[in-house]
Structure 1
């Protein structure tokens, strides 16, 4: 771990500042949109646009990097993020925010892809898994800290929008001044969706449903809080509970996943998340909202890595990296639809539609997992499963491929140990 920090500390600091900026802008827009009188439907479109840009960038940015190089892509996209963050409070119109979120989703995906390719280049087979864990912890810490910065200023002013803009601009310095020569860049051609469904229907369905859940958490939590009458500090605390619980749950879930039938664990986490969403659906108090947010965060984020590991149990080693692109697309489609459906639900049944939507998705995942257990009677023996690697539901193609490399290396080491 010390070796990873020694080689990647500047990159991790830069990513930490980027995640504060990203975590701030989502919550800020939800709060400011209410002050500006935006409808729930308008805000759901604004929030959905981020995931449209993110998904499009996951396909376009690798080609852009190959054409002009890492440094130029990182600097150009980072500068665009900084500019858009400043423009949000100056152009308070739904159409302007939608375009801004579309661009920012594209740009954040691009800078993550660039940073993650540098991180991957700075590690080797011996410490890649540790580097991935540190990267995930850094991302989560940035998002959590962002929620507490929100309470320090006036949402109706400019200062809270200037802070993430400055942080994004400052993130360039530690990254660009410390990187080694630009690494070679290549992403694997995605495995077809049809092939992924044939390999693991449960993983594909789970990825799609998790996309909708993650988008609701990341994009619509602040909108729910405003509609439910919560204060800004209460909203910040509730959102931070999602990501704090997600971080704390990753490693215990990873430990369990390597020691038990993963389908049972997927079922258990989906049930836990469903219960977590049902509690605040019917108990409309702030403690219930925080408890629900924590339970859903603790269930949904580890589920992403768990589903990836489960699918890998049925993939040939040479197909693992290619599978990451297909799963990213499935998850992205679910994420784009998430805020739109949540917005419709909240307009139809009130603020509790936010929790009801996530409860339906989690319970649907649990029921489908139960169904798949009746269709595939035996699971891969625990001793033959690939290792679990922690990764966020906001992963880019590079992060997913790094995780797949960790799986492949772990499997190869296990095979060597058996010989």
Structure 2
């Protein structure tokens, strides 16, 4: 607690941001489905979010250099609140898609500012604790935001107004913080050649995981509504998937530190593929069976990204953790742009469970490529591997600053001055 009290205001701001983000992210596909939006339009909401989020990760450091951290954070939170109210005023796909992109941009930028403050206050002695507690905040706040939908009717205006209020409230702790101005924000650079040299499996897998996870994160609620689940069941289903993704990372991390991470990735992908295939059996599953399968499915898909990052960093030269992790994050973002649209088109052309046909196909490709790569490169010795670190389950909320806060980043620098120069 002595480490957490000085950053309590920043963690509170982050929690409120994730609370509003969790509510906003689940409310839009549900309300859009109620309003009769097509599956393609709903998928484009996820694509728009991903485009805005990746753009925010790239441009926010430039904005912060011009106007400073506090002004940037205040403007982005205010814009996010305005966007949520505009979603209420203009119930049209043509308005919601660009608004969702703007929301993604604001969310990425605001999260980066909060995380840069946390990174400033972290020391080699407490970085792991701060990162772990921040990960818990991400999970708890996102889950709480989704579960808020069980307290009312998404067909009304209440949740749009409530979400806007929470976005606005999120700027208060940071605006009132007395913490010193943070270091310059970390930049994400995409060097596919370098990433491919380090780990072809990481490059291919992170792109496919982005496709799979974003498709489920955007359209999972739409699938639930189309098969007749209640709002309470849908919110519970999506929240349990997040919780399972966080809890399963613990045994997955232990296992991946002891054996070839590619084998672990194959096992996870195989179970995810099996769950997705079972979920694609329309009309044969009860609501309870759907919830149990989705929980297992979420446990698998949300534990893949940390394994991929750990595997890539096993082969990363010293001092290039941020470069590798930032590049993987951008590749994941590209997958997130593709996934929701591809799944929406399949759902429109086939059945609601077409969503899981897309995820199962992505996981099958991961398995095939990883198996082939095992025959081409021997596993690195366990004593030479980087430690596995649990990461936020909802990877679409991760930013380059999240990677800079990761305790593994500190190990690659002689001191905080080197870290500041590198970021």
Which of the five TM-score ranges fits, normalised by the shorter chain?
over 0.9
2:420 is matched with: none
Distance in 2 between residues matched to 1:411 and 1:184, nearest whole Å: 15
The CA deviation at 1:156 is 1.6
SS at match of 2:2: helix
The CA deviation at 1:314 is 0.7
Distance in 2 between residues matched to 1:43 and 1:53, nearest whole Å: 16
Is the 1:274–1:363 Cα contact (8 Å) retained in structure 2? yes
1:19-418 equivalences in 2 (<5 Å): 19-188=18-187, 190=189, 192-282=191-281, 283-376=284-377, 378-392=378-392, 393-394=395-396, 395-403=398-406, 406=408, 409=411
The CA deviation at 1:408 is 5.3
Distance 1:189 1:139, change over 3 A: closer
Indicate the larger mover: 177-186 or 153-162.
177-186
Distance 1:371 1:235, change over 3 A: same
String of CA shifts for 1:79-120, please: whole Å, max 9, x gaps: 000111112121101111011101000000000110110111
TM-score, with structure 1 as normaliser = 0.94
Distance in 1 between residues matched to 2:188 and 2:273, nearest whole Å: 35
Indicate the larger mover: 18-27 or 97-106.
18-27
Is the 1:313–1:385 Cα contact (8 Å) retained in structure 2? yes
Distance in 1 between residues matched to 2:56 and 2:412, nearest whole Å: 30
String of CA shifts for 1:15-71, please: whole Å, max 9, x gaps: 111111111112111111122111111111122100110011111111111111110
**RMSD over aligned Cα, in angstroms?**
1.8
Distance in 1 between residues matched to 2:40 and 2:195, nearest whole Å: 33
The CA deviation at 1:250 is 2.1
Distance in 2 between residues matched to 1:253 and 1:189, nearest whole Å: 27
**Paired residues, what number?**
410
The CA deviation at 1:191 is 5.3
Distance in 1 between residues matched to 2:401 and 2:36, nearest whole Å: 39
The CA deviation at 1:163 is 1.2
Distance in 1 between residues matched to 2:263 and 2:94, nearest whole Å: 44
Distance in 1 between residues matched to 2:28 and 2:153, nearest whole Å: 13
1:415 is matched with: none
Is the 2:61–2:187 Cα contact (8 Å) retained in structure 1? no
1:416 is matched with: none
Is the 2:276–2:297 Cα contact (8 Å) retained in structure 1? yes
Structure 1 unaligned runs (5+)? 413-419
TM-score, with structure 2 as normaliser = 0.93
Distance in 1 between residues matched to 2:188 and 2:254, nearest whole Å: 31
Indicate the larger mover: 378-387 or 254-263.
254-263
Q: Which runs of 4+ in 1 moved over 6 A?
A: none
Is the 1:246–1:301 Cα contact (8 Å) retained in structure 2? yes
SS at match of 1:258: helix
SS at match of 2:125: coil
Is the 1:387–1:407 Cα contact (8 Å) retained in structure 2? no
Structure 2 unaligned runs (5+)? 415-423
Distance 1:4 1:218, change over 3 A: farther
